Amino acid sequence: MSFRDHINSCNSFDPARVVPLTAGNARLGLLRRDNADVLRRFRDVFAVGEQGVELVAGGSVDAISRTVDGVVDALVAEHRVPKWRNETFAVAPRWEMPPVFRLDRGAVPFFGTRAYGVHLNGYHRRGDGLFLWIGRRSPDKQVAPDKLDNLVAGGIGNGHGVDETLVKESEEEASIPVSLIKHAVPAGAVSYRMETQLGIRDDVLFVYDLETPSDFVPKNRDGEIVKFELIPADEVLDRIRTTSDFKFNVNLVILDFAVRHGLLRPGDPEYLEVATGLHRPLD
C-alpha cells in the first residue's frame, strides 16, 4: 500500500471499456459497454450504437427525468442499480450548465454521469502540531461502511449550491454551527474517474478547510458517522500510506490537504505523484 495505490484505484478508468452517453453534441455520461447493452430495449429513451448511446427521450427536464426514472425502475428491479436513493443529481454537460435531466443518485454510476460533492477537512493546531478531525462511517452506509472519513462530506443534490450543501451537511453530520462554518476556506477540487462494480464514477469534490477552535467537538446528528476523533496529521498520513482504512476518495482529499499545507514535502518519494495526481482535468 502507498499513496500512489490510492490515487491509482480512484483512476482505474479504461476508455476502451466505455462509450459516451450523449444528447446532441454534448456528452452527459460514460456507459460501460455491458451497461450500454442493457439499455438497448428502451428504444424510446436511448439509441444504443457501437460508438455511443444517445438520449432520444425529449421534452422538458421534468419529462426526460420521468422517462429516465422508468428505466431506472427496471434497472433496480434487475439489481443492476442497487436501490433508489431518493435523492437526485443534476445531469448536465458541465457544472455551470442547466441540467438536461435529474437522475437518482443510486443510478449515477450506471450512467457514468458526473457527480459533485463537498468535502471538509477539519483541523486543529496545538503546540504539539496539526491534528485532523476524522469520522468513522456507520456500518449501515451503502458505500464504504465502517471506513474513515473527513469531518464532513456530502453529495451536491440537484438544485443545491456548493456553499449551501457545505452548511447543511456540516450541521447534519457534525453539528457545526453557521457561525463557525462560515470561516471554512474553499481550497480547490479533487477529481478522479474510476470504474466500480456498478459502472463509472466521474467525481468532482469541492474541497474546504476549517480550522476548529479548542472548544469545538463535532457531534453527528444523522446517524451516518458513529464517531469523531482528533488525530495527529502525521499519524493520518501514515495510516493512509499503509492501510485502506479511509474511504477511497477521502485518501485523496486528505493527501491534497497535506500537500497544500506542507505536511507532505518535496523530499517524499511520492511527492510529485501526489501533487499532480489529485486533479484529473475535466473533459
From the list 88, 147, 112, 124, the residue with the least C-alpha distance to 14 is 112
Task: State the Cα–Cα distance between residues 244 and 247, nearest whole angstrom.
Answer: 7
Residue with cell 495526481: 277
With beta carbons less than 8 A apart as the criterion, state whether 278 and 256 touch.
yes
Binding mask 65-104 for a copy of itself (x = CB under 8 A): ------------------------------xx--------
> Based on CB atoms, which residue is closest to a copy of itself, 11 or 138?
11
> Based on CB atoms, which residue is closest to a copy of itself, 61 or 162?
162
> Based on CB atoms, which residue is closest to a copy of itself, 162 or 230?
162
Span near a copy of itself by CB under 8 A; candidates 26-34, 77-85, 241-249, 260-268? 260-268
- Cell digits of residue 170: 456540516
With beta carbons less than 8 A apart as the criterion, state whether 122 and 217 touch.
no
> Based on CB atoms, which residue is closest to a copy of itself, 53 or 252?
252
DSSP state of 83: -
> Based on CB atoms, which residue is closest to a copy of itself, 26 or 226?
26
Q: CA–CA distance from 82 to each of 61, 148, 160, 222 (Å)?
A: 24, 23, 24, 22
Task: State the Cα–Cα distance between residues 47 and 49, nearest whole angstrom.
Answer: 6
Residue 163 binds to a copy of itself (criterion: CB under 8 A): yes
- Cell digits of residue 142: 451503502
Span near a copy of itself by CB under 8 A; candidates 33-41, 125-133, 185-193, 220-228? 185-193
Residue 115 binds to a copy of itself (criterion: CB under 8 A): no
Residue 1 binds to a copy of itself (criterion: CB under 8 A): no
Length of the chain: 283
- Cell digits of residue 105: 443518485
Interface with a copy of itself (CB under 8 A), residue from 204, 210, 233, 240: 204
**Alpha-carbon torsion, ordered 282, 262, 235, 267, to 10 deg:** 100
Phi/psi region, residue 56 (left: phi>0; alpha: psi -120 to 50; beta: rest), is alpha
> Based on CB atoms, which residue is closest to a copy of itself, 82 or 188?
188
Residue 188 binds to a copy of itself (criterion: CB under 8 A): yes
Interface with a copy of itself (CB under 8 A), residue from 162, 180, 226, 230: 162
Residue 132 binds to a copy of itself (criterion: CB under 8 A): no
- Cell digits of residue 199: 459502472
Residue 211 binds to a copy of itself (criterion: CB under 8 A): no
Task: State the Cα–Cα distance between residues 281 and 192, nearest whole angstrom.
Answer: 9
Span near a copy of itself by CB under 8 A; candidates 53-61, 120-128, 210-218, 268-276? 268-276
> Based on CB atoms, which residue is closest to a copy of itself, 28 or 204?
204
- Chain centroid offset of residue 109 CA: 11
Residue 277 binds to a copy of itself (criterion: CB under 8 A): yes
Q: Which residues bind a copy of itself (CB under 8 A)?
A: 95-96, 162-163, 185-189, 191, 204, 206, 259-262, 265-267, 269, 271-273, 275-282
